[in-house]
Amino acid sequence: MKKGLAKKVTSVLLASAMVFSLAACGSKKADAPASTAAPAAQDTKAEAKADDAKAPEAAEGKTYSIIYLTPSTASQFWTYVGIGIENAMKDMEEKEGVKIEFSTVGPAEESQTEDYVTAFEQCIAKKPDAIVTATLAIDATVPKAKEATQNGIVLNFVNCGLGVGDDGAHEEDYNQFYYCSNDTIGEMAAQAFLDAMDAKGMDKTKGTIGINMNVENEALNHRIQSFRDYMAANAPDLTLTDTYYNGNVVETSQANAENIISTFGSELIGMYSGNNITGDGVCLAVQAAGIGDKIVSVAVDSDDTEIAALGNGSLDAIIVQDAYAQGYKCMENAIQTLINGSNPESTKQVNCPPVVITSANMNDKDMQDLLDPTRLKK
């Protein structure tokens, strides 16, 4: 259910239709049938690589060049993905006796999608053995992915691929895709919200939930819509506002949250923040208003601000993707594909489910590793 009182905030970055900080781009259900994997089309160069690496023992002593094309060198999330990538590289070097010439490139900010596409072109020109990346602009990335694959480059996507999930979109243009379902994220966030309401003894028959997100995007819309659908099915008496977009700017997110708080007053029972930048702004607004114990706040993906808010009561739950595991699996698969001459996965798209972290479990070792993968860096 929606409430027409809320003013929908238009993102200044909407036209770019991109995925911003800490945004999982998969959207299908975790149990959706995945497409059968088929090795990406390879040219003569790729065939030669396969002939040279038919078995692990044949690969020992070989050197492979692999580039991590990150959507943002400044983002904590993509840094966490990068830690998984580099750890996998080190483990595979030791296990298989190969050497990886590794480099990380990419724009500073996720909003720089034109720079990302340019960087992709430059990566292809370097003729590496493999590229590991995440796309922030699907339409502009498809031809580059096609070019890379046709030139025998093993191309793996992590978190954000050429489709919205395990839909099989453009699967002939890449080798492998590890992601986290946005439908799963939205549903888990909604259940975590209801669980927090129970814990606080709140009435589920009335009240308004503020919905906040960075940008409107085909993949990210699933993260919001699945939250709405779950609430409609499990708490139909609650009202959800229109989505307040912030352009992935913390200050705008905070201003939106302050607007929601002042507009709905005592009717407001909580906030849902679809990514970490959004969550940062909402947490700051909730903390400033001193209403952390009166409402429920749930966010997606973690950073230092959200972790602190989880500890001080300004945030009740974080839906955390395993950025480290996605990066690790993506790099491991790229190296295995180079060594074996074929993709070892049976499906092209592999969903890596998220985890709900609350103040009750945030100090567990496994949860700490999820919240801060720098602890795992080798």
pLDDT in tens, 18-59: 333 444 454 444 333 333 233 333 343 444 444 443 444 567
pLDDT in tens, 284-305: 999 999 999 999 999 999 888 9
Instruction: Categorize the per-residue pLDDT at 221 as very low, low, confident or very high, splitting at 50, 70 and 90.
Output: confident
Phi-psi region of 303 (alpha: psi -120 to 50; beta: other; left: phi over 0): beta
Q: Which of 45-49, 189-193, 274-278, 301-305 has the highest mean pLDDT?
A: 189-193
SS3 278: helix
Q: How far, in Å, CA of 27 to CA of 25, rounded?
A: 6
> To which residue do tokens 């692990």 refer?
56
**Which of 117, 153, 154 is closest to 138 using CA atoms?**
117
Q: CA torsion 310→311→313→319, rounded to 10°?
A: 20
Q: How far, in Å, CA of 234 to CA of 217, rounded?
A: 25
What number is the average pLDDT over the span 325-338? Answer: 99
Percentage, residues of the chain above pLDDT 90: 74
pLDDT, position 6: 41
> Which of 27-41, 55-69, 77-91 is predicted with the least confidence, judged by mean pLDDT?
27-41
> To which residue do tokens 């070097």 refer?
93
Mean pLDDT of the chain: 87
**Which of 360, 262, 375, 344 is closest to 310 using CA atoms?**
360
SS3 361: coil
Q: Which two tokens stand for residue 170?
A: 């453009």
pLDDT, position 45: 41
pLDDT, position 20: 38
pLDDT in tens, 222-258: 999 999 999 999 999 999 999 999 988 999 999 999 9
What number is the average pLDDT over the span 116-143? Answer: 96
DSSP alpha helix (H) spans, the chain: 44-52, 56-59, 76-96, 113-125, 138-150, 182-199, 220-234, 250-264, 276-289, 304-312, 323-340, 365-371
> Which domains, from first to last, does the chain contain?
2-21+183-320 (3.40.50.2300), 44-180+322-352 (3.40.50.2300)
Q: Which residue has the higher pLDDT, 137 or 106?
A: 106
**Which of 104, 108, 111 is closest to 128 using CA atoms?**
104
pLDDT, position 281: 98
Instruction: Categorize the per-residue pLDDT at 66 as very low, low, confident or very high, splitting at 50, 70 and 90.
Output: very high
Alpha-carbon distances, residue 72 vs 108, 115, 355 (angstroms): 5, 10, 24
Handedness of CA 192, 198, 201, 202 (dihedral sign): positive
Partners of 241 in the β-ladder: 3
